[in-house]
Amino acid sequence: MKRISGTSRALIAAVALSLAVVSAASAEPLMMNGAGATFPYPLYSKWFYEYSNANPGVKFNYQSIGSGGGIKQITAGTVNFGATDAPMTEEGMKKLPGAILHIPTALGAVVPVYNLDGVPAGLKLTPDVLAGIFLGKITRWNDPKIAEQNKAVTLPNADIVVAHRSDGSGTTDIFTNYLAAVNTEWRAKIGHGKAVNWPVGIGGKGNEGVAGVVKQTPGALGYVELAYAKQNKMKVAALRNREGNFVSPTLEATSAAAAGVAKSMPANFRVSLVDAPGKESWPISGLTWLLVYKDQKDEARGKAMVQFLKWAVKDGQKMEAALDYAALPKDVAEKVDKALKQITFKGKSLY
């Protein structure tokens, strides 16, 4: 009997101790939980770090589980915010418990990369040539359709080895969206999505997998994120955009794509930037979004979220270039800032 009471005394002490820990924790900063896209993860990490340093009252916990996962989590309400590289579908939005805002935070670009001895970076490709290659119709590097645009270079008589992502990915979504936008055959036969039924090619897992195949295989052509191509010094192709200019993928050219659609930017920001108008626009660009409910359930959290987002579209934008992300054009950032007024708690704006 005595022994048991000893145990229970220890138990009570343990419970009391853990209660003390919990109450100490409640005095700690507000923890904002988020989950979603992997593409903007390095940028968000930097933002959360800088923002929490300046505002010690708020801390962030972000799990980069993929866009699909982010949408699932915010739909289930297990996180305060989600993040995605592809806008939510109408069908997906119907499943939500309340209205949601898509808040653009940065721009990404997808670029064709290749491995071809004796051919420098900047090989010129037209939309139809790129689609033809990925459809398996153009199979050799010295095909007249490629040579026509590249008279200055000698193209080898070699097989084109197509490389694509094997995992479901926002990068593939943007890339296939582009091919579907510029090529009717691609649109009819393949369509677009995070994973598609590729007519040809080798699948690599992740950007690193595609880069691995391209680097190791002479004659390979694949697509990766701009930042990945830059950091790995891969040969990047130039693409002919909608205005007929051949542009090389840069951060400026990516921002130009958003500027190109700025005037026609819908109020909900759910817009595709592929094949965007504008002389300097890189045609395979896309926005990445944070997903936040319009009607916030917790005033303190809602307020903190809005404050952070205001900071992100203004001060945060200055950190993008250093991390190889393209910043939102100024007029788009201003539009986004205004849209933050829609976030409310019990009908009252938290802006």
Please give the residue ranges that form the binding site for other proteins (CB under 8 A).
65-69, 72, 159, 161, 166-169, 190-198, 201-205, 209, 212-213, 216-217, 220
Q: Of 53 and 157, which has the nearer Cβ to other proteins?
A: 157
Which residues make Cβ contacts (< 8 Å) with residue 244, sequence separation at least 6?
none
Cβ of residue 110: shortest distance to other proteins, in angstroms? 16
CB-count exposure of residue 241 (10 Å: 0-12, 13-18, 19+): buried
Residue 116 or 328: the one with the smaller Cβ distance to other proteins is 116
Spell 301-330 as b/e; 16+ CB within 10 A means b: bbbbbbbbbebbbeebbebbeeebbbbbbe
- Minimum distance from residue 208 beta carbon to other proteins (Å): 9
The distance of closest approach from Cβ of residue 333 to other proteins in the complex, given in angstroms and rounded to an integer, is 28
**Measured from the CB atom, is 167 or 185 closer to other proteins?**
167
Closer to other proteins by Cβ: residue 85 or 275? 85
Rg from Cα positions in the chain: 24
Q: How far is the CB of 140 from other proteins (least distance, A)?
A: 11
Q: How far is the CB of 75 from other proteins (least distance, A)?
A: 11
Q: How many residues does the chain have?
A: 351
* Of residues 172 and 296, the one with the C-beta less far from other proteins: 172
CA 223, CA 16: separation in Å to the nearest integer?
A: 57
Distance CA 124, CA 333 (A): 32
Handedness of CA 120, 126, 127, 129 (dihedral sign): negative
